Amino acid sequence: MTPEQLAGFRKLFPVTQRYVYLNHASNGSLALPVVAAMNGYIERCSRHGEVPYPEAEAVVEDGREMAARLMGVRSDEIAFVKNTSAGAIIAIGSIEWQHGDNMIVMRDAFPTNTYPFDYLLPQVEKRYVTSVELAKGPECVFKLIDRHTRAMAIDWVHFLSGVRADIIAIAAHCRTRAIHILVDAMQGLGAVNQGFGELGIDFVYAGGGKWLLGPQGSGILYVNSAILPKLRPANLGWLSAKWDDFNDIYTRKPMKPGASRFEEGTKNYIGIYGLRESLRILLDVGMSEVAARVRMLTQLLRQRLEQKGFEVMTPVDPQRHAGIITASRPDVDMAALFARLKEQSFICSLRENRLRIAPHFYNTEEEIERFCAALPAKDEPGV
């Protein structure tokens, strides 16, 4: 990406005018086209009462195609959901669980990828791995598998450490054992260039409000078309069927053949209109370019943090992390430092008493340098 191209994309993000925004692992900033698309839908509804259903659905299908391109899958394998949790819940309800089943989950996963399994599947034995173990390789998962293992739920990128699980190796191993693979991609989708179509993963779910740079309350669910006929009916409603119009309500309509059957009722059109535009931006940049810039910025960030004496818990290997760099210093009051950075318009997160810093493609090296210059020097007393 040329400096001119980067400057053009940065103009789309008003947040850059006021902040050094490095908080995409928490909330993605909204670009002007995203806001305009959502406002346009709202304005149409305000002035005309509605956006005609066929017109709104055409936008949905366009967004579905963009999501499929970004993930390297077929468009009929994409469903729009309201958040990451919704994707996990649909997956849980679609799997044919049997007496004596066990599943593998991450002990330190973000609650999105633990609570639904605990609450909805109390009868299923849980076997645990951690992000620390996954950072060393996928073998920690393999040794927990037996003939009763029905599924595993993995955070692709860990919300705190930034560890990126080797989902390619995990999928290859599990494919031969008919184990369902469920991937929470919230912290990876939009930051890592990864095609999912050939991996054999069954479900991938992610909200739109972080690295995808879309609005809160929007999300994407990928369902592998190869397993769709084998799934039990779950999360189905009247709009899971195919409607040409709403004149003939009482004639039973056929079920949609693809993943869109999981869109059970009225969609969040406002959110999908916005998400379509954020996906368009990522595709216009190119996910290979997005991922390369995120990788470059995180490497620079790590280097500067370590020069200032910070301990970085994110793995060094760029293949084992994505866009998150998490760091702390034992001699520094991290909460006070976080507050001071915020006062100076540097936006990141405080998680488990560590700074979690998450740059996206439109951030610059100069912003990373300014952020790190605001940190205490290596020999400076704690804040």
Q: Is residue 347 part of a domain?
A: yes
If pLDDT is split at 50, 70 and 90, which confidence band does 382 have? low
Q: Is residue 302 part of a domain?
A: yes
Q: Is residue 267 part of a domain?
A: yes
Longest C-alpha distance within the chain, in Å?
76
Number of domains in the chain: 2
59 and 75 assigned to the same domain: yes
What does pLDDT average to over the chain? 96
pLDDT one-digit tens code per residue, 110-127:
999 999 999 999 999 999
pLDDT one-digit tens code per residue, 5-42:
999 999 999 999 999 999 999 999 999 999 999 999 99
CATH number of 206's domain: 3.40.640.10
List the helix and strand counts (H, then E) for the chain.
12, 13
Q: Is residue 307 part of a domain?
A: yes
Length of the chain: 383
If pLDDT is split at 50, 70 and 90, which confidence band does 1 have? confident
> Can you tell me the distance from the alpha carbon of 94 to that of 278, in angstroms, rounded to the nearest whole number?
29
312 and 345 assigned to the same domain: yes
3-state secondary structure of 320: helix
201 and 82 assigned to the same domain: yes
pLDDT one-digit tens code per residue, 55-68:
999 999 999 999 99
Query: What pLDDT sits at residue 143?
Result: 95
Q: Which two tokens stand for residue 106?
A: 């991450």
CATH number of 323's domain: 3.90.1150.10
178 and 307 assigned to the same domain: no
297 and 228 assigned to the same domain: no
Provide the phi-psi class of 309: left if phi over 0, else alpha when psi is between -120 and 50, else beta. Answer: left
Q: How many CB atoms lie within 10 A of CB 213?
A: 27
Kindly state the percentage of the chain with pLDDT values over 90: 94
Domain that holds residue 78: 34-284
18 and 111 assigned to the same domain: no
Provide the phi-psi class of 279: left if phi over 0, else alpha when psi is between -120 and 50, else beta. Answer: alpha
